[in-house]
Chains A and B, each alone.
Chain A
Amino acid sequence: MIEFKNLYKKFGEQPVINNLSLLIEDGEIFFILGITGAGKTVLIRMLVGLLKPDRGEIWLDGKRVDRMSEEELKELRRKCGLIFQSPTLFDSLTIFENIAFGMRRHFSFSESEISARVNGLLELVHLDRELSKKFPEELSYGQQKRVSLARAIALEPKYLLYDEPTTGLDPFTSRQISSLILELRQKLSLTSIVVSHDLESMRMVSDRVGLLHDGDFAVIAKPNEFEQSGNPFLRRFLEAS
């Protein structure tokens, strides 16, 4: 379970997150919508301790994240995978080494076990095993995003945080990634937060949706109720999309 309590974060004089509270249940896919600069990415970065809130509390499985030391955060990040907006693959390593990177350092698998697991993960994200010998630059953007997903789930996380997973992808690949988010939840029982402004993806994957505006959620609802809401900012957001 993830909980944000009265969270506040500002950059310069500008508050980006302003008294935000939210509870996400286990197994849920919570979708965060919002315009660029609304603070969506800031929120998930605070959840994994890459940014510290100025005020408020962040709880994950009963542990307070915002007071964790760097050592405690290392443990938290293992069970809370973050998939960045850009694939952020290690460009000097092959796809195989990228996926095996965390595994080699956290588990004591033999080489053959690592190899089997990497192949299994590639299959899970619908990529050809042959790609494992290639370098990130030899893959398409969509394929790189899948590899970064495979690298995150290689550590067997309980939570997955997707930062704009469909941004920069064509509609067909976007739909594939959205299907993959659903599939991973089903197969791995993951709790997910998806940050995006892709309405199509929101309709496809979310259990609940929150619209972030002026540092707090203007609306939180189930997807079918969400679009019926009379919130004026949501109306403008939907009309513009």
Chain B
Amino acid sequence: MQERILNLLSLGIFSNLGKIFIGLMEIIEGIGSRVLFLWQVLRKIVARPFEIRELIVQLYLVGVQSLGIVTVSGFFVGGIVAIQFGYALNMFGAKVYLGGVTTSGLLREVGPVLVAVMITGRIGAYIAAEMGTMKVTEQIDALRCLGLDPIPVLVVPRFLAVLLMVFLLTIFGLLVSLLGGIVTSYFLLDVNFSYYLVNLLKLTTMAAFLIGIIKSFIFGIFIATIACFEGYNAEPGAEGVGRAVNHTLVYASISIYMVDYIVAALVSITFTLAQSIIFTIGV
């Protein structure tokens, strides 16, 4: 009896280990297929004829039609960050530094992440749904039957539009969020414009701005790849399209937070290392 239980127990452990192993393999396979898809897209960016008309349409759909949502969310995000830092700084009597602290936080972290998440919801979902519907209604096969390759015709313009627009919308969103911070500081936190701007220029570094911009470029690659991949490989039926949209939102959001974490960690490590080197040299 004891032997039998032990056998069952051991089988259970092996079964669970097996399931974990299979799960890990599926994750690796999933990442691999997306990387291969990205490589396929990158290789075909230079394919001729370039779909300039489609790219313009997508730039309009992705960029211009997202301006409203980025403006509203950017303004309020700037305001929220200013309020949070305002209360904290006030406790130490350092409210005059609000402009610098708020702007630095917005440029490095909150701004790029929030704009990227907004675009994932607004554009990533749209592209996954559009391409997924084209896949399940055989429009992609119809395109193949016209002697065309769907990657340069359909995927490349969408990929480039998302990449470029995440980048530009992030810059735009950051500017609007700065405005939100200034307005909120003035009306709600009683911080003078001039104090705000002086400290903004004093405490905000070019590095903070560059980090935000680099992050937005990486976010763009992730959002564009995931949305296009999920739509292009949607399973048949309405359920398949729904799943493609759902996967896009989940995977792109997780990727954004992970990239943000990794970049923040790398910057922090680099900064610490640089400081210690300077300290050593100085000593």
A224 proximal to B (CB < 8 A): no
Count of inter-chain pairs, beta carbons less than 8 A: 55
Given known contacts A88-B139, A90-B139, A50 and B145 CB-to-CB distance under 8 angstroms:
yes
> What mask results when residues 172 to 187 of chain A are scored 1 for a CB within 8 Å of chain B, else 0?
0000000000000000
A226 proximal to B (CB < 8 A): no
CA–CA, A50 and B145, complex, Å: 8
CB neighbours of B142 from chain A (8 A): 82, 84, 88-90, 148
Given known contacts A84-B142, A88-B142, A105-B49, A78 and B137 CB-to-CB distance under 8 angstroms:
no
B91 proximal to A (CB < 8 A): no
What is the number of residues of chain B that contact chain A, defined by CB distance less than 8 Å? 16
A77 touches B145 (CB 8 A): yes
> What mask results when residues 139 to 151 of chain B are scored 1 for a CB within 8 Å of chain A, else 0?
1011111111100
A13 proximal to B (CB < 8 A): no
B138 proximal to A (CB < 8 A): yes
CB neighbours of B138 from chain A (8 A): 84, 86, 88
Among residues of A, the one whose C-beta sits closest to the C-beta of B61 is: A92
A50, A70, A86, A102: the one within 8 Å of B146 (CB):
A102
A151 proximal to B (CB < 8 A): yes
A91 proximal to B (CB < 8 A): yes
A236 proximal to B (CB < 8 A): no
B49, B130, B139, B144: the one within 8 Å of A77 (CB):
B144
CB neighbours of B147 from chain A (8 A): 74-78, 102, 106, 155
A81 proximal to B (CB < 8 A): yes
CA–CA, A102 and B130, complex, Å: 20
CA–CA, A92 and B158, complex, Å: 14
Closest chain B CB from A85 CB (angstroms): 8
| A–B complex contacts, Cβ < 8 Å, 16 sampled | A50-B144, A70-B149, A75-B147, A77-B144, A78-B146, A82-B145, A84-B138, A86-B138, A88-B142, A89-B139, A90-B134, A90-B143, A102-B146, A102-B148, A105-B146, A155-B146
Q: A48-B145, A89-B142, A102-B147 are in contact. List 7 more A-B contacts (CB 8 A).
A: A74-B148, A84-B141, A84-B145, A88-B137, A105-B153, A106-B147, A155-B147
